[in-house]
């Protein structure tokens, strides 16, 4: 079941009434710029074709949510005051709270692997928010960028992870065939066509679920904030590290103790890699793009410490294959997926060879898919119109 029609028919089976609207929000693959969105860096995600769909109808009295393919097929009733909700109900409550939405009945369905570093939670929040707005407000009165911020807040509350803004932004503003060079400081983006002459981007799900709930992600954020406080104390720069010359930043970082030094080294070098990757993409320099992916992984693993031994094995096995130009962990880390840039001629052979070795060495069950950049979130409104969420709201 993927399309709005199937979702509507399932909705009618479950709730005994026709859904008024359907919303779809994609996940994202972050090409480069990892763990720098929450310090207002530049990142480069693209939206995926896969995502989360929500069908909805207004209900005078009660919120209900049913998440057909990842928990029970029985609707869970909830109010904005309930505590201890789990799964889709926790996310629906958090989004409804942020929107101060009127009660509605919801059916959630998604085809994104969960906890695989493809931002299924952000897609869930964006799809829920669009569906709730569509059925409970005649005029949404909310700019798309505010929807992005509100979904980030809802995700933080529901998951306990203090995520940045990249995933929700990519889900709303994604564009088919293009990556977003997204500046989180100015909240603006440039679209870069994904011209990969003779190569493909591939996401390998490591089979090791990412577990951000263990607060490692939050710990990195805290460590980084403390590291920046120490650096600012030494360098006395203005509002953002991005206004300060890179070489002087690196000199200042070199004087810090090992932990803040390595965390900041990641951020400053990753910011540069995003700029270099954008140049390489513009000039279709695939070899350079591959090298930058691998350098990013090295920094995420050695300096930022968000990889795992299993993911390091997977990345290394991929990098050793002829025809694989580069590979790195993506998303929040601590498990999840790896992105690889692979020559078409090496597919699927090189990939399958690396995954065979990986299975033997780790006992995990990986799988892979090609990345095709898809469009941003869409909504099928009660009046029959189908619109991109950003056009509808702005
Ligand atoms: C998760 C967060 C994002 C971002 C990435 C790491 O996906 O939700 O905001 O911080 O991790 O780049």
Q: Which of 29, 37, 168 to mutate to test the pocket of ligand 1 (most atoms within 8 A of CB)?
A: 37
For the chain, what are the domain ranges? 4-192+373-393, 199-370
Task: Give the active site residues.
Answer: 167
* Contact 295 CB / ligand 1 (< 6 Å): no
Q: How far apart are CA 362 and CA 338, in angstroms?
A: 15
Q: What percent of the chain has pLDDT over 70?
A: 98
Which fold would CATH assign to domain 199-370?
Alpha-Beta Plaits (3.30.70)
Do 264 and 224 form a contact (C-beta atoms < 8 A)?
yes
User: What is the structure's pLDDT at 319?
Assistant: 98
Tell how far the Cα of 330 is from the centroid of ligand 1, in angstroms.
9
Tell how far the Cα of 332 is from the centroid of ligand 1, in angstroms.
5
Query: Helix, strand or coil for residue 157?
Result: helix
Strands 324-329 vs 178-183: parallel, antiparallel or unpaired: unpaired
pTM score: 0.97
Any alpha helices (H) in the chain, and if so which ranges? 4-15, 87-99, 120-136, 144-159, 166-173, 216-235, 246-254, 258-282, 286-302, 309-320, 349-362, 389-393
Higher pLDDT, 70 or 107: 107
User: What is the structure's pLDDT at 152?
Assistant: 98
Residue with tokens 């591959």: 290
* Contact 167 CB / ligand 1 (< 6 Å): yes
What rounded mean pLDDT belongs to the chain? 95
* Contact 4 CB / ligand 1 (< 6 Å): no
Q: The CATH number of 4-192+373-393 is which of 3.30.230.10, 3.40.980.10, 3.40.50.300, 3.40.50.2300?
A: 3.30.230.10
Q: Which of 28, 164, 187 to mutate to test the pocket of ligand 1 (most atoms within 8 A of CB)?
A: 164
Which are the contacts of 62, defined by CB distance < 8 A and separation ≥ 6? 77, 79, 103, 105
Average pLDDT over residues 99-107: 96
Tell how far the Cα of 316 is from the centroid of ligand 1, in angstroms.
23
User: What is the per-residue pLDDT across 157-211, written as a single tens digit (0 to 9) for each?
Assistant: 999 999 999 999 999 999 999 999 999 999 999 999 999 999 999 999 999 987 7
Average pLDDT over residues 124-149: 94
Burial class of residue 100 in the structure, from the number of CB atoms within 10 Å of its CB (0-12 exposed, 13-18 middle, 19+ buried): exposed
CA 102 to chain CA mean position, Å: 28
CA 189 to chain CA mean position, Å: 16
Q: Is the pLDDT of residue 57 over 80?
A: yes
- In the chain, % helix, strand, coil (3-state, to 5) comes to 45, 20, 30
User: What is the structure's pLDDT at 236?
Assistant: 87
* Contact 331 CB / ligand 1 (< 6 Å): yes
Q: How far apart are CA 225 and CA 230, in angstroms?
A: 9
Query: What residue owns the CA closest to ligand 1's atom 2?
Result: 163
Confidence band of 68 (pLDDT split at 50, 70, 90): confident
Q: What are the distances in angstroms from CA 144 to CA 149, 168, 172, 267, 377?
A: 9, 10, 8, 28, 11
Q: Is the pLDDT of residue 1 over 60?
A: no
Which are the contacts of 3, defined by CB distance < 8 A and separation ≥ 6? none
User: What is the per-residue pLDDT across 104-119, written as a single tens digit (0 to 9) for each?
Assistant: 999 999 999 888 889 9
Q: Which of 36, 115, 331 to mutate to test the pocket of ligand 1 (most atoms within 8 A of CB)?
A: 331
Do 101 and 21 form a contact (C-beta atoms < 8 A)?
no
């Amino acid at each position: 079941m993927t399309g709005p029609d199937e979702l509507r028919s399932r909705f009618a089976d479950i709730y005994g009434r026709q859904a008024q609207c359907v919303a779809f929000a994609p996940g994202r693959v972050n090409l480069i710029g990892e763990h720098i969105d929450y310090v207002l860096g530049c990142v480069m995600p693209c939206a995926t074709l896969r995502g989360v769909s929500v069908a909805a109808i207004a209900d005078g009295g009660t919120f209900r949510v049913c998440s057909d393919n990842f928990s029970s097929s029985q609707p869970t009733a909830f109010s904005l005051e309930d505590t201890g909700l789990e799964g889709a109900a926790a996310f629906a409550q958090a989004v409804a709270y942020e929107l101060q939405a009127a009660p509605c009945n919801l059916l959630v369905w998604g085809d994104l692997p969960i906890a695989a570093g493809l931002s299924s939670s952000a897609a869930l929040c964006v799809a829920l928010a669009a569906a709730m707005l569509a059925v409970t407000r005649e005029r949404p009165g909310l700019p798309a960028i505010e929807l992005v911020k509100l979904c980030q807040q809802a995700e933080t509350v529901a998951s306990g992870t203090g995520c940045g803004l990249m995933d929700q932004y990519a889900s709303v503003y994604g564009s088919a065939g293009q990556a977003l060079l997204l500046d989180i400081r100015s909240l603006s983006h440039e679209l870069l066509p994904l011209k990969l002459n003779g190569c493909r981007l591939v996401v390998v799900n490591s089979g090791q679920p990412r577990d951000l709930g263990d607060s490692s992600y939050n710990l990195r954020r805290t460590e980084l904030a403390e590291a920046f406080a120490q650096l600012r104390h030494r360098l006395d720069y203005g509002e953002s590290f991005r206004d300060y010359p890179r070489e002087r930043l690196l000199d200042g970082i070199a004087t810090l103790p090992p932990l803040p030094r390595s965390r900041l080294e990641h951020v400053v070098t990753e910011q540069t890699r995003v700029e270099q990757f954008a140049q390489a993409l513009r000039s279709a320099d695939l070899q350079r793009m591959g090298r930058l992916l691998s350098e990013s992984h090295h920094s995420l693993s050695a300096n930022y410490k968000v990889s795992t031994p299993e993911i390091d094995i997977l990345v290394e096995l991929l990098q050793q294959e002829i025809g694989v130009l580069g590979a790195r962990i993506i998303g929040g880390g601590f498990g999840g997926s790896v992105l690889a840039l692979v020559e078409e001629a090496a597919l699927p052979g090189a990939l399958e060879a690396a995954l065979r070795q990986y299975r033997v060495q780790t006992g995990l069950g990986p799988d892979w898919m090609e990345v095709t950049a898809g469009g941003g979130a869409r909504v099928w409104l009660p009046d029959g119109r189908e619109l991109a969420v950003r056009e509808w709201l702005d």
